[in-house]
Amino acid sequence: MKITTIGLDLAKILFQIHGVDERGKVAARKQLKRAEMSKYFANLEPCLIGMEACGSAHYWARKLESYGHTVKLMAPQFVKPYVKTNKNDMADAEAICEAVRRPNMRFVAIKNVEQQAILSVHRARQGFVKARTAQGNQIRGLLSEFGIPKPRLSKKGNSVIRKALYMPAIVARRYNPVIKEFADRLKKAGKPNMLIIGAVMRKLLHIIYGVLKSGMPFDPAWSANHA
């Protein structure tokens, strides 16, 4: 009995297969271990394979396509209406097999390795941004417990440059002798902390511009004499 369509329920270790022939009669119903997957599908005649677009689906789609099969991915919410009994691996595989044969089914495009890599970078970046925001909110909350309001920089000027210079200004104010002396003078004059940081950022811009324009390395002695 030739298998024409397979519903494949993905998992970490055990994969459930439900296959039917061209008349829709059950031709295969079995479980495969991960190590058995490649051998089974490599020896199987090319057929239509349906899978839910979930974890590892794109990897297996590329793998099975390399064996000559036609692979279709579907969103889980479009497969759910075809589940006939209580949810289990066997029922899910049968539902996937039924759903992939529907002429009006919507399918998910299979991503190549490069596309998945780019999406992974974006996901990781989103996670870092979320963690940074949460950390900032936590710090602000802790400061407010001690009656310390969050200082704010002026929003004038290029926001990208402000963000790029903020941390270098903090570090330079503490460790660069020229910048430290400049900041200390402003502090003695009674200038607020955030104004001092803004002035340090501006001074760093002048230093960067001077180095780029002259093509010469930064000279602390010259900078001190012209502060």
Per-residue pLDDT tens for 23-78? 999 999 999 999 999 999 999 999 999 999 998 999 999 999 999 999 999 999 99
Residues 177/221, Cβ–Cβ less than 8 Å: no
| pLDDT tens string 89-103 | 999 999 999 999 999
CA 222 to chain centre: 46
107-135 pLDDT, tens digit per residue, is 999 999 999 999 999 999 999 989 988 88
Query: Cα(70)–Cα(150) distance, rounded to whole angstroms?
Result: 58
The tokens 């210079």 sit on which residue?
Answer: 165
**What beta strand segments (E) does the chain contain?**
5-9, 14-20, 26-33, 48-52, 70-74
pLDDT value at position 45? 95
If one compares 150 and 134, the residue with the highest pLDDT of the two is: 134
Confidence of residue 208 (pLDDT cuts 50, 70, 90): confident
Give residue limits of the domains in the chain.
5-111, 112-150, 151-222
Amino acid at 226: H
Report the pLDDT averaged over residues 170-197: 90
Q: In the 8-state DSSP scheme, what is residue 81?
A: G
Answer whether residue 225 shows pLDDT above 60. no
Q: Residue 222 pLDDT more than 70?
A: no
Per-residue confidence (pLDDT) for residue 209, from 0 to 100: 80
Question: Residue 1: is its pLDDT beyond 90?
Answer: no
Q: Which helix (H) or strand (E) holds 224?
A: helix 220-225
User: Cβ(115)–Cβ(41) under 8 Å?
Assistant: no
- Percent share of the chain, pLDDT over 70: 93
Residue with tokens 């459930």: 16
CATH tag, 5-111: 3.30.420.140
Is residue 32 a contact partner of residue 14, using CB atoms and an 8 Å limit? yes
**What are the C-alpha distances in Å from 220 to residues 13, 112, 177, 179?**
63, 52, 8, 9
**pTM given for the model:** 0.61
